[in-house]
Amino acid sequence: MNRLLSYITILLFITAICSKLFAQNKDTITVAFWNTENLFDIYDDKEKNDNDFLPTSKKQWTIERYTAKLQHLARVIKDMNAGRGPDVLGLAEVENKKVLEDLLEQNLAGMNYRIVHYNSPDKRGISVALIFKSNLLELLDSSADTVHLERNHTTRLILHTVLMTKSKDTLNFFVNHWPSRVGGMYESELHRVSAAQTARNSVDKLLQINPSAAIVIMGDFNDEPDNKSISETLGAEHLICGKVNTKYTLHNLAWVRKNNGEGTLYYRGQWNMLDQIIVSTQLLKSKNKSAYALCESFEIFKPDYMVKKDRKHTGAPFPTYAGKKYLGGYSDHFPVNAKIIIGNAKGKK
């Protein structure tokens, strides 16, 4: 009996040492996306239709409200990733680079975030952006694709950012904010299909150069995971963890949550899973690869303070505005996040 206990003790010791060595060979980065709900400054841009967000507008977008908005966004960002903030964060509905600089310098100083942003042709001036922790990741490249719509309509660019980890893993991030459903979901669908085709073309070019490219596509797609734009045009699999269909090159981490009836936007009494994170097969193929996504890690981040409590909208995101009425909340969308394991050198388990 004593000999058996000794064997068990030795086995547990060896297991602990192996686990520690394994942990030293890998790390985790948290990838997130959030539609910030109209992050505008208070100044008039003569080239854009930002008239709703001026101190003299009906919404009375004052410096005090702008400052409160930045503080609220920062609170959520800081609380993500167990209080450390996401390592990579895609953002939508930001007016310009200056509002991001205000967010980081005034509220997120010391977190080592760096900005990637291109001005958008969107008529309201809102665009997508990406911030990342420069002490953990290195910027290799960035570019932005224009989505061409019918009748010269304009929409947000699709932002492509290439980052390298400390363990030399290269990750491609595409940040999206596809055209809205204004005018009707089906009537406006062709615009989101155009955006999906633009994203798909960029992915195909990347995979043609490097079939093993690690790709993360995130955004507010204004469509559900099972809508045509995402499931057919973009070609993202309805992923069930542990059952990866490798005939697809893209896999939607949000599908399980969507299938459970969850969502990121509450509209007319229904949840919509418009904010999603999609990954390439390379990030799901094998845990022996140098980087892989944890399928089960996808979550909707909704701390209690950003959830509405009124009887009609209980559980919904607490927004900044309801129409023109100022509520002083956070955003009408919940953020989403997922984890990617990195630094697990090839061949090691």
Residue 26: what pLDDT?
Answer: 63
> For the residues of 236-285, what is the DSSP string, one character each?
EEE-BTTB--TT-SEEETTHHHHHTT--SEEETTEEE--EEEEEEGGGTS
pTM above 0.75?
Answer: yes
CB 157 within 8 A of CB 179: no
Give the number of other Cβ atoms within 10 Å of residue 190's Cβ: 14
Question: What's the chain's average pLDDT?
Answer: 90
Per-residue pLDDT of 135-188, as tens digits, reads: 999 999 999 999 999 888 899 999 999 999 999 999 999 999 999 999 899 898
Percent residues over pLDDT 70 in the chain = 90
With a CB cutoff of 8 Å and minimum separation 6, the contacts of 91 are 33, 34, 35, 36, 39, 100, 128, 129, 130, 131, 175
Alpha carbons 272 and 275: distance in angstroms, whole number: 9
Sheet containing 275-280, strands listed edge to edge, beginning at the edge strand earlier in sequence:
137-145, 158-165, 170-177, 214-220, 275-280, 250-252, 236-238
Would you kindly state where each structural domain of the chain is located, as residue ranges? 27-342
Domain 27-342, CATH: 3.60.10.10
Alpha carbons 161 and 277: distance in angstroms, whole number: 15
Query: Bigger pLDDT: 269 or 331?
Result: 331
Distances 4 to 1, 18, 174, 191, 224 between C-alpha atoms, Å: 5, 21, 54, 68, 56
Per-residue pLDDT of 6-31, as tens digits, reads: 443 444 343 333 433 333 446 899 99
Residue 286: what pLDDT?
Answer: 59
Per-residue pLDDT of 290-313, as tens digits, reads: 788 999 999 999 999 999 988 777
b/e sequence 44-67, b meaning 16+ C-beta within 10 Å: ebeebebeebbeeeebebeeebbe
